[in-house]
């Protein structure tokens, strides 16, 4: 009962994680737009923002691959942490120092449009950061479920191997017991035949 409940919980968590990874993929892809619209080709600060979005996009790809194959968990977690650090730094730069960020971006657009795009980028980064925190926690939970499933599977295999070895040992003992019984019966039959033959020889020797 406990294992079935755990599997149901893990399947729901896995499904939720897939949905969140897909949402993160869409959000990361859309976060490229404000930076590209501000200035193309982007400045060094714009490239840093694009790099943060790219790492987030890559982490969602690796998250999908990790869910399908149960591999690359550490790579996924490393990308999530790197993306989170970049997002937090970008949010602090865009939110606390908006004017300085706009001057670093060097957008040729109207200041109002540029400010709107910067705020859109900041909002997208905040949403991505919150979503990635949830993805990080759920990824750890799903990985622990995978580990428990693997341990249960190994325990079941070991138990089945023990049962097989016991059955083989019992069959071998039974076959050995049957073989000894057959050998004893054949030995008794041989003794009886020898006694009968010996008795006949004795009678023929003593007859006049």
What are the tens digits of pLDDT across the range 76-127?
899 999 999 999 999 998 888 888 888 888 888 888 888 898 889 999 999 9
Asked if residue 18 is part of any domain, the answer here is yes
pLDDT of residue 204: 54
Distance CA 118, CA 96 (A): 12
- Return the pLDDT at 67: 80
* Chain mean pLDDT for the chain: 81
Kindly report, residue by residue over 185-195, the tens digit of the pLDDT: 877 777 777 76
Residue 167 inside a domain? The answer is: no
Is residue 180 in some structural domain? Answer: no
Asked whether residue 129 is assigned to any structural domain, the reply reads: yes
- CA 67, 72, 74, 76 dihedral sign is negative
Q: Which of 105, 101, 92 is nearest to 46 (CA)?
A: 105
> Is residue 184 assigned to a domain?
no
| Domain containing residue 71 | 2-161
In a domain, 151, yes or no: yes
Q: H-helix or E-strand containing 198? A: helix 111-206
In a domain, 43, yes or no: yes
User: Are the CB atoms for 15 and 147 separated by under 8 Å?
Assistant: no
Please state, in angstroms and rounded to a whole number, the distance separating the CA atoms of residues 145 and 93.
38
pTM over 0.85: no
Q: Compute the average pLDDT of residues 13-33.
A: 89
Tally of structural domains, the chain: 1
Report which of 67, 72, 81 is spatially closest to residue 136, judged by C-alpha positions: 81
Residue 182 lies in a domain: no
């Amino acid at each position: 009962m406990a294992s079935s409940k755990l599997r149901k919980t893990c399947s729901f968590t896995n499904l939720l994680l897939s949905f969140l990874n897909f949402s993160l993929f869409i959000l990361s892809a859309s976060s490229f737009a404000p930076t590209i619209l501000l200035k193309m080709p982007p400045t060094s600060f714009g490239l840093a923002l694009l790099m943060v979005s790219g790492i987030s996009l890559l982490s969602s790809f690796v998250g999908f691959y990790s869910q399908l194959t149960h591999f690359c968990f550490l790579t996924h977690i490393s990308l999530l942490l790197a993306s989170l650090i970049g997002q937090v730094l970008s949010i602090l730069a865009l939110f606390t120092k908006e004017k300085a960020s706009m001057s670093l971006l060097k957008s040729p657009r109207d200041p109002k449009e540029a400010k709107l795009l910067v705020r859109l980028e900041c909002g997208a980064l905040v949403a991505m950061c919150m979503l990635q925190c949830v993805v990080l926690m759920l990824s750890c939970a799903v990985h622990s479920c995978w580990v428990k499933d693997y341990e249960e599977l190994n325990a079941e295999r070991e138990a089945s191997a023990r049962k097989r070895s016991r059955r083989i040992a019992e069959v071998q003992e039974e076959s050995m017991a049957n073989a000894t019984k057959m050998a004893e019966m054949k030995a008794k039959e041989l003794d009886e035949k020898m006694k009968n033959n010996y008795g006949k020889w004795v009678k023929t020797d003593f007859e006049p």
